[in-house]
Amino acid sequence: MPKDESFDITTGADLQEVDNAVNQAVREITGRYDFKSVLAEIEYDRAKGKISIHTADEFHLNAIWDALVSRFVARKVPVVNMKRAALAPAGNDTVRQEITLVQGIDSDMGKKITQFIRDQKYKKVQSQIQGDAVRVSGPNRDDLQTAMQALREQDFGIELNFGNYR
């Protein structure tokens, strides 16, 4: 009986790098002239995987978001895994926005990925959802590498990481 080859598909960001990027963005914002005497708060809750921005208006909120994105890119944190909530009014004519970090593949996204692999009709390549990851297995490494390449070219709205290749 030949041994099956496999790899895992996961997603997520290094939480320490996210923390470092948020701290750098806070330092940048506090030193900028256009934020002098303007409310600008960035809070990062590592346990919940959320970033909260609270500022005076939408213009300043977008400026804070741009600073965060530049820090995320510099620290190789996937920006596509950041899901911005709708702008919410806060007290005293200020605005607030929540940003959620996607740290795992949920069941709906897992179903999309497994369906995509099935639709490609690779020989004996199977995929199954395992918690917050998807395992792809098959008898031939070439087929798995072809599936991996097809997954890289497809846009699922999150960054896919391939690991545990054996």
Sorted by where each starts, the structural domains of the chain and their CATH numbers stand as: 5-11+105-163 (3.30.70.860), 15-101 (3.30.70.990)
Question: What confidence tens digit (pLDDT) does each residue in 53-91 have?
Answer: 999 888 888 999 999 999 999 999 888 888 988 888 888
Cα–Cα distance measured from residue 51 to residue 164, given in angstroms and rounded to the nearest whole number: 30
CB contact burial 15-44 (16+ within 10 A = b; e otherwise): eeebeebbebbbeebeeeeebeeeebebeb
Cα–Cα distance measured from residue 138 to residue 132, given in angstroms and rounded to the nearest whole number: 20
Can you tell me which residue has the tokens 């609270």?
54
pLDDT band at 20 (very low <50, low <70, confident <90, very high): very high
- Number of neighbours of residue 145 by Cβ within 10 angstroms: 14
Can you tell me which residue has the tokens 């099956």?
4
Cα–Cα distance measured from residue 135 to residue 129, given in angstroms and rounded to the nearest whole number: 6
Radius of gyration of the chain (CA): 20
Cα–Cα distance measured from residue 84 to residue 73, given in angstroms and rounded to the nearest whole number: 16
Q: What is the DSSP string of 46-69?
A: TTTTEEEEEESSHHHHHHHHHHHH
Cα–Cα distance measured from residue 103 to residue 24, given in angstroms and rounded to the nearest whole number: 21
pLDDT band at 1 (very low <50, low <70, confident <90, very high): very low
pLDDT value of position 2: 55
pLDDT value of position 70: 93
Percent pLDDT > 90 in the chain is 18
